[in-house]
Amino acid sequence: MIIKGLEKTVGDFKLYIDELYLEPGKIHGLVGHNGAGKSILLKLMMGIMEPDAGSIDYEGLDIKEVTLMPQTPYLLHTSVYENIVFPLKLRGIQPDETEIDRLLEMAGLSEQKNQYALSLSSGEKQKLSFLRAVVFKPKLILMDETLSNLDPESEAAIIEMIKNTQADQKATWVIVSHQLENKKGLCDEIHHMSKGAMMD
Ligand SMILES: Nc1ncnc2c1ncn2[C@@H]1O[C@H](COP(=O)(O)OP(=O)(O)O)[C@@H](O)[C@H]1O
Ligand SMILES: [Mg+2]
């Protein structure tokens, strides 16, 4: 993804990204303090917010191949299973039940398959949100603070799931965090953001 001259003003906040190149097939960390503009940048990347100026070149990627895991998971008021297959139904794809079971197993949610999604613990909700994000094999995966405010077990589990998923179906990842450390060497590249601009 190639970003050039991207501008967006929201209230008193101004985002301006002169240039940012995200190499395809890599796990990118996007790090910056609270209020740096990370969530706004992700929304622009996802196409749910319109830029005032500038361009995002997805290098041939269809916007339907992009997914965003928002900061707070929004789960459907149905079962764990129905939440996972929802993106497939939206796209008219028949779920591969073996694959769904593999995903549930990977997340340690096999026993919760038919449980009401909103009754899960917060760590389980993030794991479910992750499965729903990757089930349709997106090419660009945007994660907003997914690894923040998690219990250590859930955090480690999601890091493992990112690594597994990447080994299985190569995608480009943008993982946003306000924390500076590169969690367990997860990211191939780290990009720093401050006051609406890139620091690199
Ligand atoms: N809808 C909005 N209206 C006004 N200000 C906003 C809005 N959304 C975000 N902001 C402001 O823009 C700045 C950057 O927000 P955000 O991208 O959410 O930061 P980050 O995700 O890096 O913590 C913040 O100061 C925030 O208060
Ligand atoms: Mg944010």
126: buried, middle or exposed (CB in 10 Å: 19+, 13-18, 0-12)?
Answer: buried
Q: Name all domains of the chain by residue range, CATH numbers in brackets.
A: 25-50+60-198 (3.40.50.300)
Has residue 197 got a pLDDT over 90?
yes
- Does the C-beta of 47 come closer than 6 Å to ligand 1? no
What residue owns the CA closest to ligand 1's atom 7? 10
Average pLDDT of the residues of the chain: 95
Predicted local distance difference test score (pLDDT) of residue 45: 96
Looking at residues 1-29, what average pLDDT do you find? 97
Distance, in Å, from the CA atom of 125 to the CA atom of 152, rounded to the nearest integer, reads 15
The closest-lying atom of ligand 1 relative to the alpha carbon of residue 145 is: 21
Q: What is the Cβ-side half-sphere exposure of residue 145, based on CA atoms within 13 angstroms?
A: 18
| Mutation pick for ligand 1 pocket among 39, 50, 191, 198 (CB with most ligand atoms within 8 Å) | 39
3-state percent helix, strand, coil for the chain, nearest multiple of 5: 35, 25, 35
- Determine the average pLDDT of the residues in 92-116: 97
The answer, yes or no, to whether any atom of ligand 1 lies below 6 A from the CB of 148, is no
Surrounding residues of ion ligand 2, Cβ less than 5 A? 39
CA dist 104 → 92, 98, 165, 181 (Å): 21, 10, 13, 29
Q: Starting at the edge strand that comes first in sequence, how are the strands of the sheet with 2-10 ordered?
A: 13-21, 2-10, 53-57
Question: What separation in angstroms does the CA of 129 have from each of 23, 24, 54?
Answer: 25, 23, 31
Q: What percent of the chain has pLDDT over 70?
A: 100
Query: Looking at residue 108, what is its pLDDT?
Result: 97
**In this predicted model, what pLDDT tens digit does every residue of 126-166 receive, in sequence order?**
999 999 999 999 999 999 999 888 899 999 999 999 999 99
